Structure 1
Amino acid sequence: MLIFSQVGPSWAQEFETKKILTFEEYIDLVKANHPVARQAENQLEIGDADVQQARGAFDPKIFNNTKQKNFKGTKYYSIIESGLKIPTWFGIELQGGYDLNEGAYLNPQNVTPADGLWYGGISVSLGEGLFIDERRAELRKAQLFRKMTEMERELMLSELIYEAGKAYWKWFESYSVMQTYEEAIEIAEERYEGVRRSSLAGEVAAIDTTEARIQVQNNRIGFNEARLEFENASELISVYLWLEGVTPLEIAEGTIPAYQEATGVPIDEQFLGETEALIEQHPKLRRSGFKVDQLEIDRRWSREQLKPELNLKYNILTESIDEIPSAEYSMNNYNFGLEFEMPLFLRKERGKLKLANLKIADARLDLENYRANLKYKAKAALNEWKTSNEQLNIYRETVENTRRLLEGERRMFMAGESSLFMVNSRQMSYINAQIKFFEYISKNRIARLKTFYRFGLIGE
């Protein structure tokens, strides 16, 4: 059984799974437990938190202001103002409240009836802030940021799967090469024993034993190098295996990839027929597009600030009866306010608008640059996928042909019509063809992963 060991100084917690780790099982583990995968999921929560924070600007607010002055037994004044303000998306603020003021030296404008004074009304900006204000701008930008975090999540997962997948197929390649040399060693050792016995019997020249021994040694050298590559690749695989995103795991000795089941994958025609459309849906492009939209909101708010500030406030007033607001309202009982303000030169506002325009221009240029680079990289990845599959098909035939040549050379050698040198030469050709075949399986699978990555898709 395959055991993943929890890395720690003096303790280990183990759990078991299959000895053969398939690519699908491996990627599922990476998606479920790798810290980057968990960070990617956190991006959505970051976006939600940002929207929630921006929505907070529209939260209703209750308030109370109390001011009192007493001196030498005299109540100079007592001013109590309480109420509720409700901002709305349309830039209108609803408000209502209660005032109760009294005292010997109370300012006449603050005088209220003995039971206090209730009011309710609106406050609205008729100039700057009528169509958009800072609160609405920030909320819209936060909503766009939420979409940007979705794109960031996809980018992070896509890159993680690509890097983890590359590690797996390099692991597969090194193991396949190691197995190829291991099988070659067994065959070479059997041949060496056979040649040695024949030499002792005087049936072949003694020098042939040296030739056979060299072949064994060459295969052992190749095996040792492949084993080193496999061990290092296994260490890299462990980097992507975690327990619940907090504890690194390592693969126990003896764990192998599903190398006998691995084959190449032909190119998906979807990518060839919908290249342009897929590139336009790339998370990086969409994220940049949302950034431009955010800057457009900033520009709109900057334009709005070129208008004068003109704020209207109107409240209907009514007395309190038994602490319950009177239902008898009169339009003649009100307070009214009108505020107007406007800079003479608008230098700050015009400079802010100019800066917003420049930022948008830069962002659009970046967007076009991203698009061109993504298109090139995506098409290059498609070319790699297509070519690697073609090469793989060629080498599949090459492996079979070199195997046939080797078998034929062996029969000729057994019949005394060939030399050991030729058998060894055919053997090396067969080994090299096998190694190249596994190399192209790895290249083909990595090219497929790269294509998904270049298109910003979360593949296997």
Structure 2
Amino acid sequence: MQKLFTYICLIFVTVNYAQPNDSVLSLEEYLGYVKNYHPVVKQAHLLTTEGEAKLLKSRGAFDPKLSVDYNRKKFKGTEYYDKLNTTFKIPTWYGVELSAKYENTDGKYLNPEYNTPEDGLYSAGISLNLAQGLLTNKRMATLKQAKLYTKQVEAKRQLMVNEFLYEAITTYFNWLKNYQAKQVYSNYVVNAKNRLNNVKKSYFAGEYPAVDTLEASINYKSRLLDYEKSRIGYVKSTLEVSNYLWLENNLPLELKDSIVPDIQTIDVIDVVLNSSILNSTDELIENHPKLQELKLKEDILTVDRNLKKNNLLPIVNLEYNFLSSDYEHLDTFNTADYKSGLKVVFPLFLRKERGDLAMAKMKLQDISYDISLTKVTLKNKIEGTIQDIASYEIQYDLLLDLVLDYKNIVKSEERKFSLGEGSLFLVNYREAKLIETQLKQIDSEYQLFNKKSELLRVLNTL
């Protein structure tokens, strides 16, 4: 009787075996490292900086400009000409440009129209685009597009970080899945080894036939093989997780063997990922960065279309400058002394301009189709993923019950075998089905985790 009791105790090794010295890396801690220190996340922030740089560049078109043009020619003691022309221009938002000039010229062969008073000639004036370029022009359009591009870059950054975090999270889930599988096989290797030792003792005592020792040996070797496959899978997934772990100053972090994933992740995943909040999905879709990016692209193309439409107008440039030789007294500037000009250009057929406008309209129509398609696609993906989550939750609960049922039936078969009423083959068969069901449970949990993170990936809320 004592021998039977010892044999049963050795068989019923707990399947919840854990190493006491292991340190747990939770999903929340893992994501903290990824978000704060990973180079890809830092690179994503550079996109915003790039957008700000382009905006600064476009603002340069409205910078005041100072230009100096000086030419002099002297040959064989004769000064042909000596010309100095300085200009200060201030571009404005609309097609208006303010300017101030100073001219001082001299020379024997100077063109008379360039003659200036002895102290030079001052002028202050304005140039105005009366048709094309008045309400919109190239520099106005470029600045508007740069402002929109800055917002578009922010949407792209959110999409990039969201996609990267999804990859990081699924890598953690895969690590957790492989760890749990390794633990399952590790536990049953111990069971198989203990069973083999006890069957051998019973065989030598004349209680079991020799074929039972062979059966137990085959089962033990099969368990060892399965364990080795799960071990190498866990090692590889650990290395994959290490790819996402970095410290400050771009130092990669290598996981030690004693660090393991959190097997209680299922209890905290909704809190960590905030995946339990599924309200206002329509609002989330409307504010989705992918849609925002497309809408901003549509706005950029709208600015371009308006510019192309403005190019259908004729070019009518008017310039008027007040002239004076005494800049210290403003009253010397009057309408009697002036310099003016008018330039009119109008292509007869406007084929280039009409072609540009037609292409701009087609691009706008194309992006409109993209926006409509993206809305429907996002909505269907969200609804489909929600259905998947509900299904995997049901599957997971069913598999939990199945695992308990299989554990009970394995215990029953082991008890019958120890009493000489069952067979070792049936014990091994029942145990194999238990292992298969436990692995299905682990895979179901893994799929459930993936679907919850995929939902947040689609919603772009990671």
Pairwise TM-score range, normalised by the shorter structure: 0.7 to 0.9
- Quote the offset at 1:176 in angstroms: 0.7
Partner of 2:437: 433
The number of residue pairs the alignment matches comes to 438
1:310 aligns with 2:332: no
TM-score, with structure 2 as normaliser: 0.87
Q: Which residue of 375, 378, 384 maps to 1:374?
A: 378
1:292 aligns with 2:298: yes
Partner of 1:222: 226
Partner of 1:28: 32
Distance in 2, Cα, partners of 1:190 & 1:131: 88
Alignment of 1:185-224 (within 5 A): 185-224=189-228
- Code of the aligned partner of 2:425: F
Tell me, what secondary structure is at the counterpart of 2:325?
strand
Distance in 2, Cα, partners of 1:93 & 1:245: 49
Alignment of 1:277-426 (within 5 A): 277-320=283-326, 324=328, 326=330, 328-426=332-430
Tell me, what secondary structure is at the counterpart of 2:89?
strand
- Code of the aligned partner of 1:287: E
1:156 aligns with 2:160: yes
Instruction: Note if contact 1:118-1:325 (Cα within 8 Å) is conserved in structure 2.
Output: no
Instruction: Note if contact 1:318-1:325 (Cα within 8 Å) is conserved in structure 2.
Output: no
1:110 aligns with 2:114: yes
Task: Note closer, same or farther for the CA distance 1:261–1:456 as it changes in structure 2 (3 Å cut).
Answer: closer
- Quote the offset at 1:131 in angstroms: 0.7
Partner of 2:8: none
Query: In percent, how many aligned pairs have the same letter?
Result: 35
* CA displacement 1:203-241 (0-9 Å, x = unmatched): 334433333323222211211111121122223223334
Distance in 2, Cα, partners of 1:312 & 1:75: 35
Tell me, what secondary structure is at the counterpart of 1:128?
coil
Instruction: Note if contact 1:35-1:245 (Cα within 8 Å) is conserved in structure 2.
Output: no
Moved more, 141-150 or 211-220: 211-220
Instruction: Note if contact 1:265-1:389 (Cα within 8 Å) is conserved in structure 2.
Output: no
Partner of 1:6: none
- Quote the offset at 1:302 in angstroms: 0.8
- The RMSD of aligned alpha carbons is 2.5
Moved more, 402-411 or 282-291: 402-411
Q: Which residue of 441, 444, 447 maps to 2:448?
A: 444
- As a proportion of its length, which structure holds more helix? 2
- Quote the offset at 1:150 in angstroms: 0.9
Distance in 1, Cα, partners of 2:61 & 2:396: 60
TM-score, with structure 1 as normaliser: 0.87
Partner of 1:13: none
Task: Note closer, same or farther for the CA distance 1:331–1:258 as it changes in structure 2 (3 Å cut).
Answer: same
1:140 aligns with 2:144: yes
Distance in 1, Cα, partners of 2:424 & 2:178: 29
- Quote the offset at 1:255 in angstroms: 3.6
Moved more, 408-417 or 227-236: 408-417
Tell me, what secondary structure is at the counterpart of 1:437?
helix
* CA displacement 1:169-199 (0-9 Å, x = unmatched): 1111111101111111112222222232223
* CA displacement 1:24-73 (0-9 Å, x = unmatched): 23223333343332321111111111111111111111011112222333
Task: Note closer, same or farther for the CA distance 1:211–1:407 as it changes in structure 2 (3 Å cut).
Answer: same
Structure 2: which 5+ runs fail to align?
A: 1-21
- Quote the offset at 1:120 in angstroms: 1.7
- Quote the offset at 1:258 in angstroms: 2.1
